[in-house]
Structure 1
Amino acid sequence: MAQAIDMSAIEQALNGFTIPPQPEILQHIQQQLDAPEPNIKRIATLINLDIGIAGFTLKVVNSAFFGLRQKITSVEHACKFLGVSRVLKLVRSVLIRFTLSDGKDDKFSLKLWATALQTGNTAMTLAKHFNFSQAIQDDCYSLGLFHNAGIALIQQQAANYEQLMQQGLVAQYGYSEIEEQHFHTCHEVLGYLIAESWGLTTELCNVIAYHHSPALILESDSLIERQLFALLKLAEHFTGESRQLFNLNLDPEWEQHNSTILEVLEIELLQLPELAELLHRQQINTIYKV
């Protein structure tokens, strides 16, 4: 596993920030899953309590990334077709967007969740292409949605977040350095706390905690953590996530660590244009020209 989070620093990191609790709907669904015989109808009913969440879940399930031959027309159908556990992962990921956006439709918030969705879809598609297990494919989607969740918390209290990050990145400071300087916390730690409180796996929580600390996570003795991190970073690179968020043609983490990242996935830089073509065929835009 990656180096343990320094819990003594958590209180300082949380100064002025409140980690949103896992929504009640998720708690009830989890109770159903833990039952000896989960009731699919009851689970579907719980999801359908919020039509926005139910609708977005169906939209995701019916997207090209799942490659389903038939259209899923109801949450109950999705539970039967994909399995309740997979649907729960999707609902959890969908809820993080609704919970943290809290109705905000400012330009940066919209960019944040659009890029998170694109990164999650890209990482999941890459995991499928590399023949990773279904569990890892699903985890990649959750990772894409959750990895920048801490940014949403900071931006709620700092309207000039985007501007400060742009200035810091141009000056060649790291993400955490800039955030610690201005906000006395960083989105990696906040994202970790959200993921942990929402019941994500230890591996996902660790990757979120260190996704801007490549030198640390790439030394993890957990192969799953290294693979999830590599898939996330490759997805970020293909989608140009940092460019989209901060309007900068900079990606220093990728430039510095791409060889080690690709080594985890057992591929080379020369293969990236071919992978980009694959993504384009799946209707995923990348920084590589068609």
Structure 2
Amino acid sequence: MLLFQYIYLANRHIAGSKMAEPTLTQQVNAVLATLTSDIKNHKLEIPSPPDLLIKLREVAANENSTIDDIVAVVKHDPHISGRLIKVANCALFGARQHVTSVKAAVSRLGLSKVQNLIIGLTIAQSMMQAKTLGLKEYFETIWQQSNRVAAISSVLALRKTKIDPEKALLAGMVHNIGTLPLVLRLHRIPELQKNQKVLQMVADVVIPKLYASAGELVMKSWNFPAEITSIALSHRESQREASDEINLDDIVLIAHQLSKLTDYTKFNGDDSSLLSAPVFKLFWNDQEHAEEELISFHEEIDQMMQVMSN
């Protein structure tokens, strides 16, 4: 169904027998066409990276920085500080003794791991705050998916590869970050501001098609390393050729596929794209092997989801 037809029917459904004004569908369709063009030509307005991310990178770039410098930056945000301590106490990150301070958490994890974790936590917080801008239920769904992909990614990295789990956590957290600038843009369209139901319907059509390419723009603008930036597009390429060994793209692709299942430990009929993905064989021999291992990973995945949600 063409986009303008979708909007037209949505307005007709909401307004009953009163048909939508042609100018409304024309204006909205024109704006959405412009949005597609803006992404293609790198003109999409990208939100600024969170202040904490900028400050953290400045400190990390200074070769004379110490743990105390990192701690001082993190302490500026009590919410992030609290969540970092919770992550440091997760068994996934080798917690043996309970830590209660930011400095102890940083000391346990190390500067490199802390940087990835804080970036992931900061971006997650930014997405949660954006829910107040409209499309609250839509953003809640997107956030839950991001959280689930991040948790699954971190555990897969730990249990199936030598890739740092906090790097996989970050990659999973930002895989759908392109949603953010798209929602911000849609929310500024006057015709859509007047009708939340139509705004929701337009988002349901447009965002799934454009968020990956928009996400690539965000990650490049925020100077993410290439191995993270590639996640924006690669996590949807389920039929791409498998590499010789599991890489970060493979982890997030599988985590993304698993996140869409009702129960990622039990495959039922909605798993065809996952089982047919060439990279699946890098992780498991067959469906039975996958289910068996995922059941054993379940507790760790749930723990990470809870930590990232609170």
Please say which of residues 33-42 and 262-271 is displaced more in the overlay. 262-271
**1:23 corresponds to 2:32:** no
- Deviations for 1:150-199, whole angstroms, at most 9, x for unmatched residues? 12332342665764576xxxxxxxxxxx53xxx69711111112222333
TM-score, with structure 2 as normaliser: 0.68
Report if the CA contact (8 A) 2:38-2:44 is conserved.
Answer: no
Shift of 1:68: 1.0
Please say which of residues 87-96 and 49-58 is displaced more in the overlay. 49-58
- 1:45 aligns to 2:68 (yes or no): no
Q: CA RMSD in A?
A: 3.3
Identical-residue share of aligned pairs (%): 19
Q: Tell me if 1:130 matches 2:150.
A: no
Q: CA separation of 1:197/1:267 partners in 2, compared to 1, >3 Å: closer, same or farther? A: farther
- Which residue of 144, 151, 155 corresponds with 2:172? 144
Q: Which residue of 2 aligns with 1:56?
A: 83
Distance 2:284 2:209 in 1: 35
Structure 2 stretches lacking a partner, 5+ long: 1-35, 188-195, 304-310
Q: Is 2:302 the partner of 1:284?
A: yes
1:1-290 to structure 2, matched below 5 A, reads: 11-13=38-40, 17-104=44-131, 106-134=136-164, 137-156=165-184, 157=186, 163=201, 178-179=205-206, 186-215=210-239, 218-219=240-241, 227-240=247-260, 250=270, 253-254=273-274, 257-258=276-277, 260-265=278-283, 267-282=285-300, 284=302
Instruction: Count how many residue pairs are aligned between Structure 1 and Structure 2.
Output: 251
Q: Aligned equivalents of 1:41 and 1:10: distance in 2?
A: 46
Q: Report the equivalent of 2:15.
A: none
CA contact 2:177–2:211 (8 Å) conserved in 1 = yes
Q: Deviations over 1:127-159 (max 9, x none)?
A: 11114232xx22210111100111233234266
Structure 1: gaps (5+ residues): 1-8, 167-177, 286-290
- Once residues 273 and 126 of structure 2 are traced to their aligned partners in structure 1, the CA distance between those partners, rounded to angstroms, is 29
Note closer, same or farther for the CA distance 1:198–1:65 as it changes in structure 2 (3 Å cut).
Answer: farther
What SS does structure 1 have at the residue aligned with 2:131?
A: coil
Q: Is the 8 A contact 2:220 2:229 kept in 1?
A: yes
Are the structure 2 counterparts of residues 10 and 55 from structure 1 closer, same or farther at C-alpha, using a change threshold of 3 Å? farther
Greater RCO structure (CA 8 Å; 6+ sep): 1
Distance 2:247 2:162 in 1: 10
- 1:236/1:242 contact within 8 Å kept: no
